[in-house]
Amino acid sequence: MDESNPAKSPVPLEIFRQVVEQAALAISITDSQAHILYTNPAFEHVTGYAPKEVIGRNESILSYKVTPKLVYETMWAQLLRQRPWNGLLVNRRKDGSRYLANLTITPVMDKSGETTHYLGMHRDVTEVHRLERQVQNQKTLIESVVDAAQVAIAMLDENEKVILDNQEYKKLIAELAAEPATTMLASLRAAMGAEYDEIKSTGKSVADREVRFVRENRKTRWFCCSISWIDEQDSSADGFYVPSRRKFMLLVIQDITALKEQQEAIRVAALRAMLAEQDRIRGLREALSGAVFQLQGPFNMLAAAVRMLERQNGTNMTDTLVTSLEEALATGNRTLETLRACIPSPSDEVMGPVDLNAVLMDLLRMMTPRLLAEGVTVEWLPSDLPVLIGRVTQLTMLFKALLENAIEAIRELRGGARRELRVITSRYDGRIEVAIENSGPNIPETLRYKVFEPFFTTKGAEHQHIGMGLTGAQEIAADHGGLIVLDNIPGGGCIARVQLPTT
């Protein structure tokens, strides 16, 4: 606009007046003391005051006294420096209702630089403020719920970088001394393979995947992870008309270590009960078999005597004696049959896939209190083993017998001798070998094969050891097409090697 000659302005002054009149903003013009000189129709619409009701009055007519005095002081300090001011004020309409005004005041100066007027423009932003507060309240509510949750929660961007987390997640960072999300996702990726990439590209959810976290000299921790996806609309100006979405991963991690330990304890207790039952049955079989074996000898002798008497019949012997002896023999044989019938039959357990490392781990775990009590140091050196098709209970009994023998051997050590048990698993040439080494005394060369004989024991009756451990173990190994070899370790100790074919 050409100020020197308003008439030459491309926009006539009347247009300027009409613009102000028809503007949607509430516009007021005051003198330098904030006395209202002009208001437009939008002002009346927002405040409820007609021009004639406010002309000559101070703008403070709109003031609702909850706006802090400091706000006005700051406003006036700014205006007196001839700078525009913008801020929020709580205004009161003519009808007494309040609204939040977003107000901009611009000083208008004359040619000499004196402020002669003020231009005020404001709009009612109560609704915007209400929505902002509502969003803020919801955010606070969600954050407190997420923070109070007993599970670790993290939100990750496309690059799997954590952008939001909760208190439990922060605790987990300290406990694991690592970024939990990175650790969990690496484990999930390894376990899920191609499925992981698929869920990432399709945005499919994943629920309750277990992840094990192992660290040297620390107890193993277990976590249950779930993944879901959140789509966020682009909130930038660019995305206003051409919306684009960003996908975030919501990772929920629940520590299930206590639950796992509980399950593990129940499983080991069940295993212990099962093995005790198997031991009881085996003991009964052995005792009854032994009794039948011991009784069979005298009965055989009796049968021979009866046959001799029958051949000599007709001499001095009476029929009555032969008959009595025959009756006694028949009764004895019936008793033997009854005893044989009482011997529990060997288990008819079906063959199935067996993880020998897991079997040995379970046994070592189960025997831990005993090993600790005996002061035995255990070295567990497993290799990756193929799955063996076998009878899991029988194999468990086999290794239990060998481990018990090893502990028994170590018990015989006196003084400060090394008390070591080493369990090594390996695979070669279609075979799995489990070596159980103990640092106990050597087996005398003469007894290396005898120890596999039924009823043989080197322990003596005071240990109540009936000597069937190795025999039973050898039977089980043979039943699986394998064998047990006992070797002495030069300088002391013994290795029991169990070799089982995998094909």
89 closest CA partner among 139, 144, 34 = 34
3-class DSSP state for residue 355?
coil
Angle at 105 (CA atoms; ends 75, 8), nearest 5 degrees: 150
Least distance (Å) from ligand FAD to the CB of residue 34? 3
**Closer residue to ligand FAD in complex, CB, 27/443:** 27
Distance (Å, rounded) from C-alpha 480 to C-alpha 351? Answer: 10
**Closer residue to ligand FAD in complex, CB, 87/346:** 87
Least distance (Å) from ligand FAD to the CB of residue 55? 13
89 binds ligand FAD (CB under 6 A): yes
Beta bridge partners of 107: 118
Of 39, 42, 46, 59, the residue at the interface with ligand FAD (CB under 6 A) is 59
Number of residues that bind ligand FAD (CB under 6 A): 21
Q: How far is CA 248 from the centre of its chain?
A: 21
C-alpha dihedral over 166, 172, 177, 182, to 10 degrees? Answer: -70
Look up residue 120 and give its amino acid.
Answer: G
Question: In this chain, which stretch among 66-74, 144-152, 319-327, 430-438 interacts with ligand FAD, using CB under 6 A?
Answer: 66-74
103 binds ligand FAD (CB under 6 A): yes
Of 58, 104, 183, 458, the residue at the interface with ligand FAD (CB under 6 A) is 58
**Closer residue to ligand FAD in complex, CB, 73/349:** 73
69 binds ligand FAD (CB under 6 A): yes
Q: What is the DSSP string of 257-279?
A: HHHHHHHHHHHHHHHHHHHHHHH
Evaluate whether 64 touches 92 at the Cβ level (below 8 Å). yes
Strand-by-strand arrangement of the 494-501 sheet: 377-381, 420-428, 431-438, 494-501, 483-488
Of 38, 72, 229, 456, the residue at the interface with ligand FAD (CB under 6 A) is 72
Question: In this chain, which stretch among 67-75, 190-198, 308-316, 333-341 interacts with ligand FAD, using CB under 6 A?
Answer: 67-75
Per-residue interface string for the shown chain with ligand FAD, residues 122-151, x marking contact by CB under 6 A = x-----------------------------
Of 40, 91, 396, 405, the residue at the interface with ligand FAD (CB under 6 A) is 91
101 binds ligand FAD (CB under 6 A): yes
Beta strands (DSSP E) in 125-194 are 152-156, 162-165
**Closer residue to ligand FAD in complex, CB, 52/65:** 65
62 binds ligand FAD (CB under 6 A): yes
Distance (Å, rounded) from C-alpha 89 to C-alpha 310? Answer: 131
Angle at 170 (CA atoms; ends 165, 173), nearest 5 degrees: 120
CA-to-CA dists, residue 401 to 25, 28, 324, 387, angstroms: 93, 100, 47, 22
Give, as ranges, the residues between 455 and 474 that touch ligand FAD (CB under 6 A). Answer: none
Least distance (Å) from ligand FAD to the CB of residue 113? 17
Beta bridge partners of 123: 102
Of 33, 150, 217, 345, the residue at the interface with ligand FAD (CB under 6 A) is 33
Question: In this chain, which stretch among 117-125, 301-309, 464-472, 489-497 interacts with ligand FAD, using CB under 6 A?
Answer: 117-125
Interface positions with ligand FAD (CB under 6 A): 28, 30, 33-34, 58-60, 62-63, 69, 72-73, 76, 89, 91, 101, 103, 105, 118, 120, 122
